[in-house]
Amino acid sequence: LSNRLQSVFSKLRTKGKLTEEDVTAALREVRLALLEADVNFKVVKEFVAKVKERAIGQEVMKSFTPGMVVIDIVNKELTALMGGTNSKLARSNKPPTVIMMVGLQGAGKTTSSGKLSKLLTKEGRRPLLVACDIYRPAAIKQLQVLGEQLKVPVFAMGDQVSPVEIAKAGLKHAEDHGHDYVIIDTAGRLHIDETLMQELRDIHAAIEPDEVLLVVDSMTGQDAVNVAENFHQQLSLTGVVLTKLDGDTRGGAALSVKAVTGCPIKFAAMGEKLDALEPFHPERMASRILGMGDMLTLIEKAQSGIDAEKAKEMERKMRTAEFTFEDFLEQMEQVRKMGPLDQLFEMLPGANKMKGLKDMKVDDKQLTRVESIVKSMTKEEKLHPELLNHSRRKRIAAGSGNSLTDVNRFIKQFEDMKKMMKQFSGMMGPKGKGMKGL
């Protein structure tokens, strides 16, 4: 996934502007990356369209490469799609706050119930766990063991009483014993079926929960969407708990589920241990889905700029004063990819004392002009700037479609830069630090 993105972004980086063509090409790859991360295809389609709309016509800031701009937009939109900032657990102003955990079998409902009760305990709450899964063998025992480990009381009535009755009695028990949170652990099935849904609807109607959290195994790929849609229709979900993020899944399910149900993902479970539950952070998830670790490296690379071979050659030329207009042009092009010259120079030791840096900003227009001027020079002139007398300058101005002032200004800049380079090459001598990226 990230290899693919890397290749497309490096393609982008070698260009100056973010054209519609660039965006389309980049987003084709983003699309594939998302599909590989198991994001639902409908969700991907909408997402890509949205990003495209935003990206085209977007100004590429001087200090960014086009690739960085695309990464930034994709990342922001992805974060927004997953719910912006993380959203909190409800808290009823008429305690206890009732949380109903629902989801397919094996999704992690029971484990997450335990983890959630631990989180609440840490916040000074007094949760009660209620065992409503009477079908799965040892499900009640599982919750009781968790409760013992966590020192959280578990309300159970065995497996001969209906889950609705257990839920109601559990709630009553919580009220009587001063619990401020009730977590109802319900049964799941391997697939959605009507009997299960009916039971869950009955529990829902009986206890009127403040939160209905759908527990989703993040390894469930495309199917997560159908599951979420179905549960949401039946039970009006209020949030999602995404489990098993400690696996190697990219978590595309997270994106799909949020997009389809509109419900925020409230918690992320990242392991079997009981403290492995955290509030969900959309921006982290976005990074994960996109493999942002790699992207950040990419951005760093873009910032450190040009390829080492070229830099070395330039450095040699500067020292031996072989620096020509052609080199200057190439330098400007490289520098333009990295950002404004003045900022760049500020990073170099001693550079802030030098004059003339203010005029050294590079933008597309300027680069085009410089290019046309250099191309109107003869080979002799390029190698020997001192040849450029008034009449030659006039010829170049006419030939390149620039004013004489432009030509003069450019030549002045070139000479300033050469002077600066002499000073730099002093610093860069055998004992100097070298001139990274320039």
Annotated binding site for GTP: 103-110, 185-189, 243-246
Identify which of residues 105 and 303 has a Cβ nearer to ligand GDP in the complex: 105
- Of 24-63, which residues contact ligand GDP (CB under 6 A)? none
Count of C-beta atoms within a 10 Å radius of residue 340 = 18
- Of 181-220, which residues contact ligand GDP (CB under 6 A)? 188, 215
Count of C-beta atoms within a 10 Å radius of residue 312 = 12
**Tally of CA atoms within 13 A in the half-sphere of 386 that contains its CB:** 0
- E strands, 8-62, are none
Residues 258 and 246 sit within 8 Å (Cβ to Cβ): no
Q: Is the preceding peptide bond at 96 cis, omega within 30 degrees of 0?
A: yes
Among 272, 275, 322, 415, binds ligand GDP (CB under 6 A): 272
Identify which of residues 120 and 216 has a Cβ nearer to ligand GDP in the complex: 216
Name the residue among 126, 143, 125 with its Cα closest to residue 134: 143
Smallest distance from ligand GDP to CB 246, Å? 5
- Reported as type and span, the H/E element at residue 97 is strand 97-102
Among 16, 221, 271, 385, binds ligand GDP (CB under 6 A): 271
Residues 60 and 66 sit within 8 Å (Cβ to Cβ): yes
Tokens 């209905």 correspond to 212
Smallest distance from ligand GDP to CB 270, Å? 6
Give the annotated binding-site residues.
103-110, 185-189, 243-246
Burial level of 216, CB count in 10 A (0-12/13-18/19+)? buried
Name the residue among 246, 285, 247 with its Cα closest to residue 264: 285
Q: Which x/- pattern over 99-118 shows residues binding ligand GDP (rule: CB under 6 A)?
A: ----x-xxxxxxx-------
Q: Choose the contact partner of 153 out of ligand GDP, Mg ion, none; CB within 5 to 8 A by kind.
A: none
Identify which of residues 186 and 324 has a Cβ nearer to ligand GDP in the complex: 186
Tokens 């085209």 correspond to 56
Q: What's the rounded Cα separation, in Å, for the pair 118 and 276?
A: 10
Q: Choose the contact partner of 230 out of ligand GDP, Mg ion, none; CB within 5 to 8 A by kind.
A: none
Identify which of residues 188 and 239 has a Cβ nearer to Mg ion in the complex: 188
Residue nearest Mg ion by beta-carbon distance: 110
Name the residue among 256, 252, 266, 275 with its Cα closest to residue 149: 275
Smallest distance from Mg ion to CB 245, Å? 19
Give Dmax over CA atoms of the chain in angstroms: 104
Of the listed pieces 40-48, 243-251, 382-390, 399-407, which binds ligand GDP according to CB under 6 A?
243-251
Q: How many residues bind Mg ion (CB under 5 A)?
A: 2
Q: What's the rounded Cα separation, in Å, for the pair 251 and 247?
A: 9
Q: Does 238 bind Mg ion (CB under 5 A)?
A: no
Q: Does 269 bind ligand GDP (CB under 6 A)?
A: yes
Identify which of residues 106 and 399 has a Cβ nearer to ligand GDP in the complex: 106
Identify which of residues 185 and 211 has a Cβ nearer to Mg ion in the complex: 185
Q: Choose the contact partner of 108 out of Mg ion, ligand GDP, none; CB within 5 to 8 A by kind.
A: ligand GDP
Strand-strand pairing, 265-269 and 277-279: antiparallel
Name the residue among 69, 73, 71, 60 with its Cα closest to residue 363: 60
Q: What's the rounded Cα separation, in Å, for the pair 155 and 253?
A: 32
Q: Which x/- pattern over 100-139 shows residues binding Mg ion (rule: CB under 5 A)?
A: ---------xx-----------------------------
Identify which of residues 3 and 149 has a Cβ nearer to ligand GDP in the complex: 149
What is the binding site for Mg ion (CB under 5 A)? 109-110
Q: Where do contacts with ligand GDP occur on this chain (CB under 6 A)?
A: 103, 105-111, 188, 215, 243-244, 246, 269-272, 276
